[in-house]
Amino acid sequence: MSAKHDAGMAVRRRVLGEAHVDRAEAAKTPLDAPFQEMITEGAWGTVWASDAISLRERSMLTLALLAATGNFEEIPMHIRATARTGASARDVAEAFQHVAVYAGVPKANHALKIAKSVFAEMEAEESR
């Protein structure tokens, strides 16, 4: 594997957690293996591995972009990642405020609904 892959896998595990990445790796097939390599090297090994901005800031940017582009299915995973990136629930709410102003209230409203649900699940899991 390349240095970008190794760096990407390390950041991916740090942000998403060992269990999530282990499940994703176990589910990898010959069909999606090239795609998984591309996102591990590109998204995780280049973008997320850069030290130009913090993981907290990347987390907030990612959530805002997912909401703004209507890619809601990725939001729960990235809300869960906030526990490891340092982005607070308030940070997430602020990011979605920007989405409301610049990309539309319905997108921000839907993203907030998802965030509330996932944060509640996370809180319930912590109290067990």
What is the per-residue pLDDT across 41-71, written as a single tens digit (0 to 9) for each? 999 999 999 999 999 999 999 999 999 999 9
Torsion of CA 39, 40, 46, 47, to 10 degrees: 60
**What pLDDT is attached to residue 108?**
98
pTM listed for this prediction? 0.94
Contact call for residues 111 and 71 (beta carbons, < 8 A): no
Q: Which CATH architecture has domain 54-127?
A: Up-down Bundle (1.20)
In this predicted structure, the answer to whether residue 110 has a pLDDT above a threshold of 80 is yes
Q: What is the pLDDT of residues 29-43, one digit of tens each?
A: 999 999 999 999 999
In this predicted structure, the answer to whether residue 128 has a pLDDT above a threshold of 90 is no
In this predicted structure, the answer to whether residue 1 has a pLDDT above a threshold of 80 is no
Q: DSSP 3-state assignment of 44? A: helix
Contact call for residues 80 and 122 (beta carbons, < 8 A): yes
Domain(s) labelled CATH 1.20.1290.10 in the chain stretch across 54-127
**Average pLDDT of the chain?**
97
**What pLDDT is attached to residue 84?**
97
